[in-house]
C-alpha cells in the first residue's frame, strides 16, 4: 500500500513539525484539524479495501468449476482471502501509527487524568490486552491451517501422477479424510465447549495420536486437536470479542470534537480487525460471533467498515449452518474440493475413464492452486499478526509511561 504509507508519513511529519514550533493557530484548532485528517485517512483506507475487494462474497459451491488461472487473473483480493487479510492488517498498522501520533506526540500527559480520557484510556489499555489474546489464538490458528495445507498437498502429489492407480487414490483419500475430519472435530469441540461449559485442555498434537491408544474415536480422528496450545478451559474467542466491544460507545456532545473521538475510532478499528480474524481463522469457540459487534451508522468514517462487516456477517451466517472451520476464502475452497475428491476416491475404478480423468485433473489443479496460495501467504500473514501483537505491546507501554509520568507529577515533593 505505497500511497497509504506515503500519506501516513506525511501525516506523522506534519504533526511532529507543527507541535514543535510556534504557530498562529490555537492548539484546539490544530487538534480539530488533526482529528479530521485522522478520520479521513481511516475512511479512505477502509474505502480502499471495500472498493478493491473482488466479488465481495465467497461462494464455495463454485469452487469446483472456477478455473485457477481465472482466479489468478483477478488483481483484487477476494473477501476474507489471505491477501485481503494482509491488506487489512497493513491498514490497521497505518491507522495505529497515526492514532498514536494524535494521542501521544507532544501531548501534555496530565490530559489523560481529565474527563473523559481518565476512563477511556484504561478501557483502551484493557482492550489492548484482550487483543493480544486474540493475536495469539489467530497465530496458532494459522499454524493449523498450514497443517491442513500440507495434508492437501499430499493428496495433490498423489493425484498428479501420470497414471492414477489404487495406491495413489488410497494415499490421497487418507490425507483428505484426515483434513476434513479435523475440520469437523474442531467445530464440534467448539460447540460442545459452548453448550456444556467445558472443553479439553490442548497440547501440541497436530495429527499425533494421544496416549489413549485403545480409544476408537481417537483412532478415527488421529486425535487431531486443532487448537493445540495450552489455553484456559473456558476461553472463548467470541466472548473475548464481546468483552472488547462491551464498553465501546461513540463520544457525544463536546466529547466528539476532542481526544475521545480518536480513542473511539482506534478502538473500533481494533475490534473490527480482531473480529474479522476470528471469523476467518480457526479459534476456540466462536458461536454467535456475528451478533457481538455493532458500529453506529451515523458516523461517516465508519461507513466502509460497516459495509465490510455486513458482507462478513452474511458469509458467517451461511457457513454457521454448515458447521465448518472458518471463513478464510482459501479454506472454504479447499474444503469443497477435498470433499469432491473424497467422493471420487470412494467410487474409483481402474482404469479411469478419460472424461472422469479430465474432471479430476481440473479439481486437483484447483487444489494445487489453493495450496500454492497458502504456501505463499500464510507465513507472511502469521508474521503480520505477530507484528500487530508487538505494535500493540509497544503502544500500550508508551501510554503507560505517560500515565506513570502523571503519577510522578501528582506525587507531593517531600521537604
Q: pLDDT by residue (tens digit) across 152-162?
A: 999 999 999 88
Let me know if residue 151 belongs to a domain: yes
Element of type H or E holding 97: helix 82-104
Residue 72 has a pLDDT of: 43
Domain of 151 in residue numbering reads as 44-405
Residue 225 lies in a domain: yes
SS3 54: strand
375 domain residue, yes or no = yes
**Mean pLDDT, residues 300-329:** 85
Q: Quick check: pTM over 0.85? A: no
Task: Give the helix ranges, DSSP H, for 326-353.
Answer: 329-346
Is there a domain that residue 27 lies in?
Answer: no
Per-residue cell: 212: 489413549
- pLDDT on residue 146: 97
Asked if residue 356 has pLDDT above 70, the reply is yes
In a domain, 22, yes or no: no
Whole-number pLDDT of residue 177: 96
Query: For 63-97, what is each residue's pLDDT tens digit?
Result: 444 444 444 444 689 999 999 999 999 999 999 99
DSSP string, 31-45: HHHHHHHHHHHHHHH
210 or 151, higher pLDDT: 151
Per the domain annotation, does 360 fall within a domain?
A: yes
124, 392 contact by CB (below 8 A): no
pLDDT at site 231: 62
| Contact by Cβ (8 Å): 312, 327 | yes
Mutual angle of helices 237-245 and 117-159, in 10-degree steps: 150
| C-alpha distance from residue 205 to each of 224, 225, 227, 286, 330 (Å) | 7, 6, 9, 21, 24
Q: Average per-residue pLDDT in the chain?
A: 80
Three-state helix/strand/coil letters over 175-231: HHHHHHHHHHHHHHHHHHHHHHCCCCCCCCCCCCCCCCCCCHHHHHHCCCCCCCCCC
Closest by CA to 238, choosing from 130, 139, 106, 154, is 130
Residues 1-30: pLDDT tens digits? 555 555 555 655 555 545 444 444 456 677
Asked if residue 325 is part of any domain, the answer here is yes
Judge whether 29 lies within some domain.
no
Contacts of 245 (CB under 8 A, 6+ apart): 271, 292, 293, 294
Span 164-214, pLDDT tens digits: 889 999 999 999 999 999 988 655 555 454 443 333 333 322 233 333 344
Which residue from 84, 106, 86 is spatially nearest to 94, judged by alpha carbons? 86
Which residue, 149, 170, 166, 72, is CA-closest to 368?
A: 149
Collapsing DSSP states into helix, strand and coil, what is residue 78?
Answer: strand
Q: What percent of the chain has pLDDT over 70?
A: 73
pLDDT on residue 58: 44
Tell me, what's the pLDDT at 14?
Answer: 56
Domain count, the chain: 1
Amino acid at each position: 500500500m505505497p500511497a497509504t504509507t506515503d500519506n501516513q508519513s506525511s501525516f506523522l511529519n506534519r504533526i511532529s513539525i507543527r507541535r514543535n514550533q510556534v504557530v498562529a493557530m490555537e492548539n484546539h484548532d490544530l487538534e480539530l484539524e488533526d482529528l479530521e485528517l485522522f478520520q479521513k485517512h481511516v475512511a479512505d483506507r477502509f474505502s480502499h479495501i471495500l472498493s478493491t475487494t473482488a466479488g465481495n462474497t465467497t461462494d464455495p459451491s463454485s469452487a469446483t468449476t472456477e478455473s485457477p488461472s481465472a482466479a489468478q487473473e483477478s488483481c483484487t483480493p477476494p473477501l476474507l482471502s489471505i491477501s485481503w487479510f494482509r491488506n487489512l492488517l497493513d491498514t490497521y498498522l497505518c491507522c495505529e501509527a497515526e492514532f498514536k501520533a494524535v494521542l501521544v506526540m507532544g501531548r501534555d500527559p496530565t490530559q489523560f487524568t481529565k474527563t473523559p480520557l481518565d476512563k477511556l484510556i484504561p478501557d483502551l489499555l484493557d482492550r489492548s490486552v484482550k487483543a493480544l489474546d486474540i493475536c495469539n489464538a489467530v497465530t496458532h490458528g494459522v499454524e493449523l491451517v498450514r497443517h491442513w495445507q500440507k495434508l492437501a498437498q499430499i493428496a495433490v502429489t498423489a493425484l498428479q501422477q501420470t497414471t492414477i492407480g489404487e495406491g495413489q487414490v488410497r494415499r490421497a483419500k487418507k490425507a483428505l479424510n484426515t483434513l476434513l475430519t479435523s475440520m469437523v472435530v474442531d467445530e464440534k469441540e467448539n460447540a460442545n465447549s459452548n453448550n456444556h461449559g467445558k472443553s479439553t485442555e490442548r497440547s501440541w498434537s497436530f495429527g499425533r495420536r494421544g496416549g489413549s491408544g485403545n480409544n476408537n474415536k481417537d483412532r478415527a480422528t488421529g486425535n487431531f486437536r486443532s487448537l493445540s496450545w495450552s489455553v484456559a478451559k473456558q476461553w472463548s474467542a467470541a466472548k473475548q470479542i464481546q468483552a472488547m466491544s462491551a464498553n465501546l460507545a461513540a463520544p457525544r456532545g463536546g466529547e466528539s470534537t476532542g481526544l475521545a473521538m480518536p480513542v473511539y475510532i482506534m478502538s473500533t478499528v481494533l475490534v473490527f480487525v480482531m473480529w474479522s480474524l476470528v471469523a476467518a481463522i480457526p479459534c476456540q469457540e466462536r458461536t454467535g460471533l456475528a451478533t457481538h459487534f455493532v458500529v453506529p451508522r451515523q458516523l461517516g468514517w465508519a461507513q466502509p467498515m460497516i459495509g465490510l462487516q455486513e458482507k462478513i456477517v452474511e458469509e458467517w451466517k451461511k457457513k454457521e449452518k454448515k458447521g465448518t472451520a472458518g471463513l478464510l476464502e482459501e479454506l472454504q475452497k479447499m474444503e469443497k474440493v477435498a470433499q469432491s475428491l473424497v467422493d471420487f476416491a470412494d467410487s474409483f475404478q481402474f482404469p479411469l475413464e478419460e472424461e472422469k480423468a479430465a474432471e479430476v485433473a481440473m479439481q486437483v489443479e484447483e487444489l494445487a492452486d489453493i495450496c500454492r496460495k497458502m504456501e505463499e501467504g500464510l507465513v507472511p500473514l502469521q508474521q503480520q499478526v505477530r507484528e500487530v501483537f508487538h505494535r500493540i505491546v509497544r503502544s500500550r507501554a508508551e501510554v503507560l509511561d505517560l500515565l506513570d509520568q502523571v503519577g510522578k507529577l501528582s506525587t507531593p515533593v517531600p521537604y
